[in-house]
């Protein structure tokens, strides 16, 4: 366990340091998403939509970066490392791949949190959006649970995407916008039929966004949405278990077939 945590720290350090050493990258990562959410909010304003819809879109839009980070910096990472010849080095070094995955998740979550906060704060200031400040503590807890389940899902993707080879980028594109749509980034998911609402409840992003809206916009308390916390804890445990099993399976198959260390298949 101690060795795995050291590996996770090393992998997270590289990701955090490499991403934030140039401040202009942070500005771009905040400014460009801000343009997207601003377009939606201006449309709501033009339609004289209630303020609750503006606040709802602001909260949801701040979470978009996490999903794309899952797809492009988690799910695809092992495949890219394999293509560059780094994956065999990771394996022969004796570093546990679980530690590498954990470090990728921690580093990505930290980087995206900085960017999400930038988008949310600027959106609140520019559009004068009011949120329930008394719910910040339960919202923080819900946010952390959302990240834990979301990045556990990302670890499943990372453990399995090696199988897809060069079609990884196409899969990521297919999973991009549809998941954001189903997660209700710009609108509450209660507009969907009940069957779809139940289906999207297995998506951590959808649960997390809805829970944060309940706390920050609808002024509900922890006990009103305790089921969301329980669901996210359950998803974290299940996704983490599946990710570890898949990773072990991938390692075992790689030792037998040699596919895990081949640069091209």
CA 234 remoteness from chain centre: 17
**49 three-class SS:** coil
- CB of 63 closer than 8 Å to CB of 209: yes
What was the pLDDT predicted at 262?
56
What was the pLDDT predicted at 165?
66
What was the pLDDT predicted at 255?
63
**96 three-class SS:** coil
Q: What is the DSSP secondary structure assignment for residue 258, as one 8-state letter?
A: -
Low pLDDT (below 50) residues in the chain: 264
What digits encode the pLDDT tens for the residues 87-127?
777 777 778 888 888 898 999 999 999 999 999 999 999 99
Separation between Cα atoms, residue 160 and residue 73, nearest integer Å: 14
Separation between Cα atoms, residue 176 and residue 2, nearest integer Å: 35
What is the torsional sign of CA 160, 189, 206, 177?
A: positive
- Alpha helix (H) residue ranges in 161-262: 168-182, 194-200, 204-216, 226-257
């Amino acid at each position: 366990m101690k060795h795995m945590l050291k590996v996770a720290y090393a992998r997270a350090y590289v990701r955090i340091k490499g991403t934030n050493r140039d401040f202009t990258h942070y500005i771009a990562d905040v400014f460009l998403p801000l343009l997207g959410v601003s377009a939606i909010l201006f449309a709501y304003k033009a339609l004289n939509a209630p303020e609750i819809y503006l606040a709802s879109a602001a909260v949801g839009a701040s979470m978009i970066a996490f999903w794309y980070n899952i797809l492009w910096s988690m799910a695809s990472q092992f495949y890219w490392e394999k293509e560059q010849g780094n994956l065999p080095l990771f394996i022969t070094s004796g570093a546990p791949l679980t530690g590498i995955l954990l470090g990728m998740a921690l580093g990505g979550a930290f980087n995206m949190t900085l960017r999400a906060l930038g988008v949310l704060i600027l959106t609140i200031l520019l559009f004068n959006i009011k949120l329930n400040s008394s719910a910040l503590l339960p919202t923080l807890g819900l946010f952390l649970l959302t990240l834990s389940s979301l990045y556990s899902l990302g670890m499943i993707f990372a453990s399995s995407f090696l199988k897809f080879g060069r079609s990884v980028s196409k899969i990521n594109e297919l999973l991009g916008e549809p998941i954001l749509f189903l997660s209700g980034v710009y609108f509450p998911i209660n507009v969907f039929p009940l069957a779809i609402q139940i289906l999207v409840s297995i998506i951590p992003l959808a649960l997390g966004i809805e829970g944060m809206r309940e706390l920050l916009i609808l002024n509900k308390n922890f006990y009103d949405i305790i089921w969301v916390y329980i669901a996210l804890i359950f998803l974290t445990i299940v996704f983490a278990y599946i990710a570890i099993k898949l990773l072990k399976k991938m390692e075992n198959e790689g030792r037998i077939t040699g596919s895990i260390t081949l640069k091209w298949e």
